[in-house]
Chains A and B, each alone.
Chain A
């Protein structure tokens, strides 16, 4: 069953040019997807457009059958679509606990919030130890865990994560990928954007390859990993961009 459908979606920033050029794709319930492609391909733009942070200039976005394209971000979230941006977008002056509570902002039942928080602590025990630490003072890996934990407080049906490994030491990144791989057990459909293509493909079922704002290839992740032509064309760049300082073209605007 399809959970998210994009039909001919075009999108971009402000008065700037189109970054996403008529993308049509379908995300099936329960699967995990990795969106790969070179810098400026429109990967982050796609996630932001689905999340409601950008308004599609053209085309339709359906989540669970209802149109969400151009809807306010808080209303998109209420349907069960949660987005974790590249810069993690934590509340730096708030404690770990306050950040998690903010994650469940749309949930008013305190008991439900406490229950969700317990579940987050089971996945990320380190957060429980840092309950009263200010988010802005944590390490990159801990901040990413908090960002993921905060997203899980929503109990999303679709979780979109943008570049979770950005700026993390390799061992820490591996830990994050392991956790992301385990999200499938929670009945969460996953849409992952990752520059670290090999790790991204390894923890997902399916892949979309975007280039210049268009969907080029759609295939099972392991098939992409094994395809010599794709490896050469797109994954070859892996070496020079494996530790990107700042992605150009699509920044964290």
Chain B
């Protein structure tokens, strides 16, 4: 029993970081109906930023958040403004975004491999292998800090969405784009900001996973596959769903890994994806999609 609780604790800690990664992805889909296949590659790019800030000036990965968050917010604004308005009026907008972001992912992966090679990297902060003992339970320090940081950032996102004027506009656009337009929301502006926020969350995730998981450019395919499974489970476009999906699947993957061995752990995500599509295709907190 103690052992199972230990596995669940580790799963929840990881789940917090997964939730941070997934929330950016689901926000982009919710506000703009963009399926951002490049989300993973931007997370890896942020890992490299954290890595070189650690190698060079010796910044702790948590300090690198001060760079990755604003930097990826800006990259998001530029990428959105440069590419997405061109396909905005398309009747197949979401399908177009899949192709467009797939292309972005390939190009960015190539560029990362060209500049940073395909070698496995990781940041090595001093607390990386430390652990805190609480009673019988052991809590890895790095994962604990990462989870706390994720929670703080997600609370920040929540406060932004529920207590600011722009946040109201973002939620309004998520719930009904036309309705947002007719009450005076500039949806182009809101979309640009939301894409920037999604990317800022990807940047933050990069700083955090730079010491949790070794990375190399092509690693992003594995991440995007897991993230898509998480947000489909939670319901595409639902932030609550992304957080719950991330926590549930991280814990499940932990249990599977513990019982059947780590090789089976990635299967958890795709098995869950398969099941949810069979049983409840709109996801836990999703709504039946409106076609058109």
A contact residues vs B (CB 8 Å cutoff): 14-15, 51-53, 72-74, 77-78, 82-85, 89-94, 98, 101-103, 105-106, 108, 150, 154, 251, 253
- B55 on interface, CB distance cutoff 8 Å: no
Question: Per-residue 0/1 for B165-207: is the Cβ within 8 Å of any A Cβ (1 yes, 0 no)?
Answer: 1001101100110110111111010000000000000000000
Q: Are A14 and B182 in contact (CB under 8 A)?
A: no
Q: Which residues of chain A have C-beta atoms less than 8 A from B182's C-beta?
A: 51, 53, 73, 77, 82-85, 89
Q: Are A90 and B169 in contact (CB under 8 A)?
A: no
B contact residues vs A (CB 8 Å cutoff): 89, 91, 165, 168-169, 171-172, 175-176, 178-179, 181-186, 188, 292
Task: Give the contacting residue for B184; candidates A15, A74, A85; CB below 8 A.
Answer: A74
Most-contacted residue by chain A among B169, B184, B188 (CB, 10 A): B184
Q: Are B175 and A105 in contact (CB under 8 A)?
A: no
Q: Is the interface of B mostly helix, strand, loop or mixed?
A: helix
Q: Which residues of chain B have C-beta atoms less than 8 A from A108's C-beta?
A: 165
Q: Are A53 and B181 in contact (CB under 8 A)?
A: yes
Q: How far is the CA of A14 from the CA of B292 in the complex (A)?
A: 12
Task: Give the contacting residue for A91; candidates B91, B175, B186, B188; CB below 8 A.
Answer: B175
Shortest distance between the CB of A136 and any CB in chain B (Å): 9
6 A-B residue pairings within 8 Å (CB atoms): A74-B185, A93-B175, A102-B183, A105-B168, A105-B169, A105-B183
Most-contacted residue by chain B among A52, A91, A103 (CB, 10 A): A91
Q: How far is the CA of A83 from the CA of B89 in the complex (A)?
A: 21
Task: Give the contacting residue for B172; candidates A14, A77, A94; CB below 8 A.
Answer: A94
Knowing A14-B91, A89-B176 are in contact, say whether A94-B171 is a contact too (CB < 8 A): yes
Q: Which residue on A lies nearest to B91, using beta carbons? A: A14
Q: Which residue on A lies nearest to B89, using beta carbons? A: A14
Q: Are B292 and A253 in contact (CB under 8 A)?
A: yes
Knowing A91-B175, A91-B176, A102-B172 are in contact, say whether A150-B184 is a contact too (CB < 8 A): no
Q: How far is the CA of A74 from the CA of B91 in the complex (A)?
A: 22
| Given A91-B172, A150-B183, 5 further pairs, Cβ under 8 A | A85-B182, A90-B176, A91-B171, A94-B171, A108-B165
Q: How far is the CA of A253 from the CA of B181 in the complex (A)?
A: 14
Q: Which residues of chain A have C-beta atoms less than 8 A from B89's C-beta?
A: 14
3 interchain residue pairs of minimum CB distance: A89-B179, A73-B181, A106-B184
Q: How far is the CA of A253 from the CA of B290 in the complex (A)?
A: 10
Q: How far is the CA of A150 from the CA of B182 in the complex (A)?
A: 10
Knowing A14-B91, A94-B171, A102-B168 are in contact, say whether A53-B183 is a contact too (CB < 8 A): no
Q: How far is the CA of A27 from the CA of B81 in the complex (A)?
A: 38
Task: Give the contacting residue for B186; candidates A74, A89, A93, A251; CB below 8 A.
Answer: A74
Q: How far is the CA of A74 from the CA of B180 in the complex (A)?
A: 9
Q: Which residue on A lies nearest to B292, using beta carbons? A: A253
Q: Are A92 and B169 in contact (CB under 8 A)?
A: no
Q: Which residue on A lies nearest to B178, using beta carbons? A: A89
Q: How far is the CA of A93 from the CA of B238 in the complex (A)?
A: 11
Shortest distance between the CB of B234 and any CB in chain A (Å): 15
Q: How far is the CA of A150 from the CA of B183 in the complex (A)?
A: 8
Q: How far is the CA of A253 from the CA of B182 in the complex (A)?
A: 14
Most-contacted residue by chain B among A52, A72, A89 (CB, 10 A): A89
Q: How far is the CA of A85 from the CA of B89 in the complex (A)?
A: 20
Q: Which residues of chain A have C-beta atoms less than 8 A from B292's C-beta?
A: 251, 253
Q: How far is the CA of A53 from the CA of B178 in the complex (A)?
A: 8
Shortest distance between the CB of A140 and any CB in chain B (Å): 16
Q: How far is the CA of A73 from the CA of B189 in the complex (A)?
A: 13
Q: Which residue on B lies nearest to A82, using beta carbons? A: B182
Q: Are B183 and A103 in contact (CB under 8 A)?
A: yes
